[in-house]
Structure 1
Amino acid sequence: MDLFGGTIKNLENGLNYATVRQKTIAQNIANVDTPNYKAKSVSFKDLLQEANNKALTANRTDARHINFTGESTTPGVYSYANLKYRQDGNGVDMDTEQANLAKNAIYYNALIERVSSKFNTLQTVLKGGN
């Protein structure tokens, strides 16, 4: 039985995306002075595809079957290989990263408010509307 029709799971996926994005932005900001560092970003589409692929499991019944193994990289994260803002080859634009950080914080907080609202609704139902 799915209490909220999958809403909680979708909110959880959104929070996972926001967390990976937050870590990626923080890594970019931390490496703003690192020569030849290339800024990284997160693709929601790639992150969603990776999550969908994890649901697929397969058993090899024959040695000729394809082996399903995952990579150990962070899903959905990619580098801007040819991007550089400074002479030292660094590809981090601090203004862009700070804007992305603020945007991600707003997105994350909105998701947290929505999860909280869902749990408050459930709590009200369990208490009988009191």
Structure 2
Amino acid sequence: MNLFGSMITQLERGLDYSATKGKAISQNIANIDTPNYKAKNVSFKEVFANVQANSLEAYKTDERHINFKPNTAHSGVFNYSNLRYRQDGNGVDMDKEQADLAANQIYYNAVVDRINGKFNTLQNVIKGGR
């Protein structure tokens, strides 16, 4: 029996995505003056597909069946290789990075609030509604 259910696990993966995206944005901002640096981004679609693939379990009716193993993990981080904003070849747009940072912070706070709600509900159940 899974006490917390799969929702907590999925929310944890959402926090992992937000942390990975935050690292990519931080690297972009830190390298704003680095010549030929190409901006990085994180694809939610890639991260979500990876989580879905890793959470699948195969039902085996016989012990001789082959174990189900998903593909190796992909971080979802990619570079904009053809993007140039300045003459020195740097591909970082500070306005876009600041907007992405704000959006990522809002996403992170929403996921944390949802996790807190789940744990508060669990705590209420444990206390018997008092």
State the Cα distance separating 1:11 from its structure 2 match.
Answer: 0.7
Partners of 1:70 and 1:129 in 2: how far apart? 44
Matched to 2:123, the amino acid is Q
Give TM-score scaled by structure 2 length: 0.81
State the Cα distance separating 1:69 from its structure 2 match.
Answer: 8.5
Equivalent position SS for 2:111? helix
State the Cα distance separating 1:125 from its structure 2 match.
Answer: 0.5
2:125 is the counterpart of 1:125? yes
State the identity as a percent.
58
Aligned to 1:41: 41
2:75 is the counterpart of 1:75? yes
Decide whether the 8 Å contact of 2:43 with 2:76 is kept in 1: yes
Aligned to 2:50: 50
Partners of 1:88 and 1:5 in 2: how far apart? 51
Partners of 2:53 and 2:110 in 1: how far apart? 27
Aligned to 1:28: 28
Aligned to 1:11: 11
Aligned to 2:110: 110
Aligned to 2:93: 93
Sort the Cα spacing of 1:104 and 1:36 in 2 relative to 1 into closer, same or farther, 3 A. same
Matched to 2:6, the amino acid is G
Give TM-score scaled by structure 1 length: 0.81
Partners of 1:107 and 1:129 in 2: how far apart? 30
State the Cα distance separating 1:51 from its structure 2 match.
Answer: 3.2
State the Cα distance separating 1:48 from its structure 2 match.
Answer: 2.3
Q: How many residues align?
A: 118
Deviates further, 2-11 or 17-26: 2-11
State the Cα distance separating 1:96 from its structure 2 match.
Answer: 0.2
Matched to 2:16, the amino acid is N
State the Cα distance separating 1:87 from its structure 2 match.
Answer: 0.2
- Aligned-residue Cα RMSD (Å) equals 2.2
Decide whether the 8 Å contact of 2:85 with 2:91 is kept in 1: yes
Sort the Cα spacing of 1:107 and 1:77 in 2 relative to 1 into closer, same or farther, 3 A. same
